[in-house]
């Protein structure tokens, strides 16, 4: 039997997967090599979140990430991705000041960046700006729960929704986002019970980050999964591979061989024809 022809992920396909109880796969990627690998593996969604500029560009705080930096990393992912839907995060204060800014920056991320959709953090108060982006014809993924760019407001990066009152506010924000027109959610660092409640009651796919696995799917950052990043790895996530020691060993060996003068070896050295070399010496004598 012939294998099914792989096609570009669409919103319709994601909704169909939720309706049929089929898991949705997603991964955070921020550069062309990782995106190319991830697209070969077969993820439904490749998300370029604010963790990309933080990890790859060394930003210690997500509020320092500039729109242009997020745009450039999105372009890198888009150039090599054929099948996954590309979702790019809109950085801090790029869609909060006005509806004009919200639509303009979202449009740039799609038209210039190559994203298929944008991802917006927020709550019930920012839902109106999300609605404007959707009304302009740009699909939006909502991000609720722990929101890195709102860490000061949320008193840090820790888990959210531990109390009934706090969880109720997260649920309220989720419903506001659905009314605004988001087609999916990322819910981060909330109790599994809250995330599962959202997945079972909302009409759109819900993807969890440290939020249990009884959802429509999970979302993780590629660098966290393979041990590659500029900052200490999170302690609450599984590492499937650790490439950092392998990279460090390879670079150490290269440095040592360079110091000893044995790199590059003869088989990797370009040599000139002896007669041509003699002609050169005669010409420059």
Residues 6+ apart with CB under 8 A from 194: 161, 167, 170, 171, 187, 211
Separation of first and last alpha carbons in the chain: 71
What are the residue ranges of CATH 3.20.20.60 in the chain? 11-241
Q: Which CATH class is domain 11-241?
A: alpha beta
Rounded to two decimals, the pTM is: 0.90
251 CB contacts (<8 Å, ≥6 apart)?
Answer: none
Residues serving a catalytic function are 188
pLDDT in tens, the chain (285 residues): 456 789 999 999 999 999 999 999 999 999 999 999 999 999 999 999 888 888 888 888 888 889 999 999 999 999 999 999 999 999 988 988 899 999 999 999 999 999 999 999 888 888 999 999 999 999 999 998 876 565 545 445 567 668 899 889 989 999 999 999 999 999 998 999 999 999 999 999 999 988 889 999 999 999 999 999 877 777 777 889 999 999 999 999 999 999 999 999 999 999 999 999 999 999 998
pLDDT score, position 129: 93
- The answer to whether the CB of 183 falls within 8 A of the CB of 12 is no
Quote the CA–CA distance of 157 and 136 in Å, as a whole number. 32
**Token pair for 12:** 């319709």
């Amino acid at each position: 039997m012939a294998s099914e022809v792989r096609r570009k992920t669409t919103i319709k396909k994601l909704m169909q997967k939720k309706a049929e109880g089929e898991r949705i796969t997603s991964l955070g990627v921020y550069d062309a090599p990782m995106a190319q690998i991830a697209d070969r593996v077969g993820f439904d969604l490749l998300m370029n979140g604010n963790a990309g500029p933080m990890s790859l560009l060394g930003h210690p705080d997500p509020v320092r990430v500039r729109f242009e930096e997020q745009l450039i990393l999105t372009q890198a992912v888009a150039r090599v991705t054929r099948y996954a839907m590309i979702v790019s995060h809109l950085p801090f204060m790029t869609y909060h000041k006005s509806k004009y800014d919200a639509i303009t920056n979202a449009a740039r991320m799609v038209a210039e960046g190559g994203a298929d959709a944008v991802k917006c953090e927020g709550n019930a108060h920012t839902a109106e700006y999300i609605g404007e982006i959707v009304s302009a014809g740009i699909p939006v993924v909502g991000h609720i729960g722990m929101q890195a760019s709102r860490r000061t407001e949320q008193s840090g990066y820790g888990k959210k929704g531990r109390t009934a009152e706090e969880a109720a506010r997260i649920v309220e924000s989720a419903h506001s986002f659905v009314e605004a027109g988001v087609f999916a959610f990322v819910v981060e660092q909330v109790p599994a019970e809250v995330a599962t409640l959202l997945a079972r009651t909302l009409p759109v796919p819900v993807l969890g980050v440290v939020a249990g696995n009884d959802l429509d799917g999970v979302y993780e950052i590629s660098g966290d999964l393979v041990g590659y990043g500029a900052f200490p790895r999170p302690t609450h996530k599984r590492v499937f591979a650790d490439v950092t020691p392998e990279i460090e060993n390879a670079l150490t060996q290269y440095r040592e061989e360079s110091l000893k003068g044995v790199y590059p070896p003869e088989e990797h050295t370009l040599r000139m024809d002896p007669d041509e070399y003699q002609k050169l010496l005669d010409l420059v004598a």
